């Protein structure tokens, strides 16, 4: 029998779930690239591997970009994985903690069915050494940086994974592709970076276009939403909690006085995907 994966999406940001308790295939870089390929595989913005054992009895998960690289954290990824755990009977509680490479994430299933999930994404830091951003140790807030021959005012931060937020009067998919392709791997970002072009709509809402590290242009991103909202708050562009609008839909981001950031948004199950014999042969050869 071929390997079975589950597919979910959060506002169009889609992930495959590979469960090691159901299958023994290891998620190598080449295999992930094939499975996530939209022409030769199933197609997705990434792959979630788990549940795995983590310290303290927590449920672990690993997050992979479609290029096979491993991500520290993903807001949509943790919400999707929480829904998967509920759907397949791994957890019965409405609230539990997931362990990721970028830190623990506490999730709450609202409404009981896992279709709306709130995640405590942790705290943010603007310190260059912790993001990381090259150069002297500093907070990277409203700093001028050049990408592709043009200069922008950027704010960089980490929420367990690295982000570069660029405020603009007008944003678009085309601009995100143009700037993101250069900025993602710019020399000043030694571990690459996620890029968000941000337009402030009012004191309680922003819009972003996203170019994700290892994935490219995406319709939505949970960690990018949290990063952009946190940057807007730090820059004094918003007052409190923020609605983040993306091409795939909107997420709600709450920013607490202790620095912690909460995100609430939907998760939808697409269905079960079974690898054919031919795809299994291709995966076995990688």
Do 237 and 151 reside in the same domain of the chain? yes
The CATH number linked to 21 is 3.10.310.10
| Cα torsion angle, 44, 49, 54, 58, sign | positive
* For residues 212-226, average pLDDT: 97
Do 107 and 129 reside in the same domain of the chain? no
Do 207 and 154 reside in the same domain of the chain? yes
Strand, helix or coil for residue 171: coil
Percent residues over pLDDT 70 in the chain: 100
The residue segments making up the domain with residue 204 are 123-259
Do 172 and 234 reside in the same domain of the chain? yes
d(CA 5, CA 122): 29
Query: How many alpha carbons lie under 13 Å from residue 134 in its C-beta half-sphere?
Result: 9
pLDDT tens for each residue of 141-188:
999 999 999 999 999 999 999 999 999 999 999 999 999 999 999 999
pLDDT tens for each residue of 88-108:
999 999 999 999 999 999 999
pLDDT at site 111: 84
pLDDT tens for each residue of 29-43:
999 999 999 999 999
Do 128 and 253 reside in the same domain of the chain? yes
* For residues 33-58, average pLDDT: 95
Do 253 and 277 reside in the same domain of the chain? no
Do 96 and 134 reside in the same domain of the chain? no
pLDDT at site 112: 79
d(CA 119, CA 122): 9
Do 234 and 196 reside in the same domain of the chain? yes
Residue 1 pLDDT grade (very low, low, confident, very high; cuts 50, 70, 90): low
List the one residue out of 215, 217, 264 whose CA is nearest residue 241. Answer: 264
Backbone angles phi, psi at 81, to 5 degrees: -65, -35
pLDDT tens for each residue of 98-144:
999 999 999 999 987 889 999 999 999 999 999 999 999 999 999 99
Do 134 and 254 reside in the same domain of the chain? yes
pLDDT at site 7: 98
Quote the tokens at residue 156.
């960089």
Number of structural domains in the chain: 2
Place of tokens 């807001």: 75
Do 141 and 111 reside in the same domain of the chain? no
Do 212 and 107 reside in the same domain of the chain? no
pLDDT at site 258: 85
pLDDT at site 2: 79
* For residues 255-272, average pLDDT: 94
**Averaged confidence pLDDT in the chain:** 96
Query: How many alpha carbons lie under 13 Å from residue 131 in its C-beta half-sphere?
Result: 29
Do 139 and 81 reside in the same domain of the chain? no
């Amino acid at each position: 029998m071929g390997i079975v994966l589950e597919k979910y999406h959060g506002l169009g940001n889609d992930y495959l779930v590979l469960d090691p308790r159901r299958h023994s295939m290891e998620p190598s870089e080449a295999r992930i690239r094939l499975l996530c390929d939209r022409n030769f595989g199933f197609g997705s913005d990434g792959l979630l591997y788990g549940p795995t054992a983590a310290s303290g009895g927590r449920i672990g998960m690993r997050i992979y970009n479609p290029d096979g690289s491993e991500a520290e954290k993903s807001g949509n990824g943790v919400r999707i994985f929480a829904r998967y755990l509920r759907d397949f009977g791994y957890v019965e509680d409405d609230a539990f903690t997931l362990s990721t490479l970028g830190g623990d994430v506490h999730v709450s299933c609202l409404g009981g069915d896992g279709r709306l999930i709130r995640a405590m994404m942790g705290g943010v830091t603007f310190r260059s050494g912790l993001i990381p951003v090259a150069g002297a140790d500093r907070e990277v807030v409203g700093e001028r940086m050049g990408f592709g021959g043009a200069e922008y005012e950027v704010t960089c931060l980490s929420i367990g994974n690295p982000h570069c937020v660029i405020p603009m009067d007008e944003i678009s998919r085309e601009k995100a592709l143009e700037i993101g392709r250069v900025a993602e791997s710019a020399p000043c970002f030694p571990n690459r970076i996620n890029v968000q072009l941000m337009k402030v709509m009012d004191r309680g809402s922003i819009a972003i276009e996203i170019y994700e590290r290892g994935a490219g242009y995406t319709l939505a991103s949970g960690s990018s939403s949290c990063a952009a909202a946190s940057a807007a708050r730090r820059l004094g562009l918003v007052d409190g909690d923020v609605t983040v609008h993306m091409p795939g839909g909107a997420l709600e981001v709450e920013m607490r006085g202790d620095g912690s950031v909460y995100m609430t948004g939907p998760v939808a199950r697409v269905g079960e995907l079974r690898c054919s014999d031919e795809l299994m042969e291709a995966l076995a050869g990688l």
